């Protein structure tokens, strides 16, 4: 689920170097590590519109590599595009779906490029520059895989007593999400810097599962997932 900029710090001053590390017209490219920590919850699983009690799901916290490209329109205002290698999320069941043998229930890769407007505090000459940003991300999922053990368990929920797995496929809805971020950059010189950021993306989506019974009948299941990840980004930057 991915994203970025810098970290909250109540600094009222900045150290001057005369390096003009981040000034109007300059560009900054950053490479680093992204950690996604979902603050997740889910609705119960529904099969053909019928709610299955004591069912739910949660997602894990993946890591991935990220890149951010920033253009400074002024010494303080910049636009930033952020992307990462799509991490694979594992979806695990809760309640009656928490059986170890069927978890993770499914997995998927998440794409979440983002575009942010940012404000940098301090001066272009400052070594230490806090920033705040806000923007939007478009989130979609692919390579969705359903665990065969969960397919067998789901078949038993659909057809009482079923012991073999009816084949199931899954999709996850795409969505737009706002992005809120805060961060801090430390400039070593006019070219090189390091940065840390924390971002928040409040969003929810729906996972859909289609099960094809031996009779050829297709049964549709779904669950709404609120993921709301907190995204940490640590990066090395080069200004040009």
Each residue's pLDDT, cut to its tens digit, for the chain (240 residues) gives: 444 433 333 333 333 344 556 788 899 999 999 999 999 999 999 999 999 999 999 999 999 999 999 999 999 999 999 999 999 999 999 998 988 788 999 999 999 999 999 999 999 889 999 999 999 999 999 999 999 988 888 888 888 766 677 899 999 999 999 999 999 999 999 899 999 999 999 999 999 999 998 888 899 999 999 999 999 999 999 998
- The Cβ of residue 142 has, within 10 Å, a number of other Cβ atoms equal to 12
- d(CA 225, CA 175) in angstroms, rounded, equals 12
- d(CA 44, CA 136) in angstroms, rounded, equals 28
Domain 27-239 matching CATH 2.40.160.20: the answer reads yes
Domain ranges of the chain: 27-239
Place of tokens 């991935």: 64
Cβ–Cβ < 8 Å for 138, 32: no
pLDDT of residue 110: 95
pTM for the full model?
0.85
Non-local CB neighbours of 100 within 8 Å, separated by 6+ positions: none
């Amino acid at each position: 689920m991915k994203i970025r900029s810098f970290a909250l710090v109540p600094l009222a001053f900045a150290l001057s170097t005369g390096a003009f590390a981040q000034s109007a017209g300059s560009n900054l490219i950053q490479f680093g590590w992204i950690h996604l920590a979902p603050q997740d919850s889910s609705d119960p699983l529904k099969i053909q519109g019928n709610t299955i009690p004591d069912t739910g799901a949660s997602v894990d916290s993946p890591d991935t590599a990220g890149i951010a490209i920033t253009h400074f329109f002024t010494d303080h205002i910049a636009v930033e595009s952020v992307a990462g290698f799509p991490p694979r999320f594992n979806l695990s069941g809760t309640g009656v779906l928490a059986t170890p043998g069927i978890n993770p229930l499914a997995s998927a890769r998440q794409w979440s490029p983002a575009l942010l407007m940012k404000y940098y505090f301090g001066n272009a000459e400052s070594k230490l520059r806090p920033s705040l940003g806000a923007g939007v991300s478009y989130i979609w999922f692919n390579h969705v895989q359903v665990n065969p053990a969960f397919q067998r368990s789901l078949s038993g929920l659909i057809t009482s007593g079923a012991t073999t797995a009816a084949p199931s496929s899954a999709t996850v809805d795409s969505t737009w999400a706002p992005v809120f971020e805060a961060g801090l950059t430390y400039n070593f010189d006019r070219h090189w810097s390091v940065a840390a950021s924390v971002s928040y993306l409040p969003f929810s989506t729906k996972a859909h599962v289609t099960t094809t019974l031996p009779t050829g009948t297709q049964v549709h299941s779904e669950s709404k997932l609120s993921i709301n990840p907190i995204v940490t980004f640590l990066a090395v930057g080069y200004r040009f």
